[in-house]
Structure 1
Amino acid sequence: MTNLISLGVILTDRGSKYAVTGARVQSRADVDAVLAELKRDKAYAKATHNTWAAVLPQGALKADDGESGAGIVILRMMERAELKDHVIIVTRWYGGKKLGGDRFRRVQDAVRAYFEVQGIAAS
């Protein structure tokens, strides 16, 4: 796959770093290939969480990767923006301090940054 769009680290909060990546996908196999490509970069492979959501022709998928509740945050934003045939991955490197509910705001910030770069209207 060569359609990976990675913005790299876009924000930090109390030591935690967040990055966002996305790609066009048509199937779960495509999602798995995108995740594998992303994790070829050792920094992403060693990240604390690679949370993602995808809206496919067959339906929606999400995974929290240990960041409980974050996948649904990404998925809801994608659905509101009517973004289909796409996967968005929000990566977090834990910085040593718990963020509580702010972690969801950081996930939203990361997805909004991706939308902005892609010219997608976020609601």
Structure 2
Amino acid sequence: MQIEGVVSDRGSKYAVSGGAVLDRAGVEAFLRALKRKKKYAKATHNTWAVLLPDGPLKNDDGEGGAGQVILQMLERDGLHGHVVVVTRWYGGKHLGGDRFRHVATCVRTYLEALGR
């Protein structure tokens, strides 16, 4: 599932994507499929997290701390075996701490779309 246009702030745009995965290879396959779309391949950041049976995985993709925000929200919700990717296209102005609020908004939007 992909939800675009979740947040727009000072030129930066955010989207959220996700899907069921069984393991690290599934995460990598999901990310490859997402980045086959030129728009996502050219994004500034594709930050993600997932809770797997052998432990949590996350990646900030240059957006320091954003993967941890996603991971904490997945843990709080109890969503296992489902990778969530927050994509940001940088708009030219630094957002400071607001970027974490936007990541959280994206994850909340995604969880709500799943009916959680």
How far is the alpha carbon of 1:11 from its aligned partner?
A: 1.4
Runs of 4+ in structure 1 displaced over 4 angstroms?
A: none
Gaps spanning 5+ residues in structure 1: where? none
Q: What does 1:1-123 align with in structure 2 at a 5 Å threshold? A: 5-120=1-116
Gaps spanning 5+ residues in structure 2: where? none
- Aligned CA RMSD, in angstroms, stands at 0.5
- Aligned mates of 2:68, 2:7 — CA distance in 1: 20
TM-score by length of 1: 0.93
Q: In structure 2, what residue type is equivalent to 1:35? A: L
> How many residue pairs get matched?
116
- Aligned mates of 2:4, 2:13 — CA distance in 1: 10
TM-score by length of 2: 0.99
- Aligned mates of 1:109, 1:25 — CA distance in 2: 22
- Aligned mates of 2:10, 2:58 — CA distance in 1: 26
Q: In structure 2, what residue type is equivalent to 1:91? A: T
How far is the alpha carbon of 1:9 from its aligned partner?
A: 2.4
- Aligned-pair identity in percent equals 61
- Aligned mates of 1:87, 1:28 — CA distance in 2: 10
- Aligned mates of 1:8, 1:15 — CA distance in 2: 15
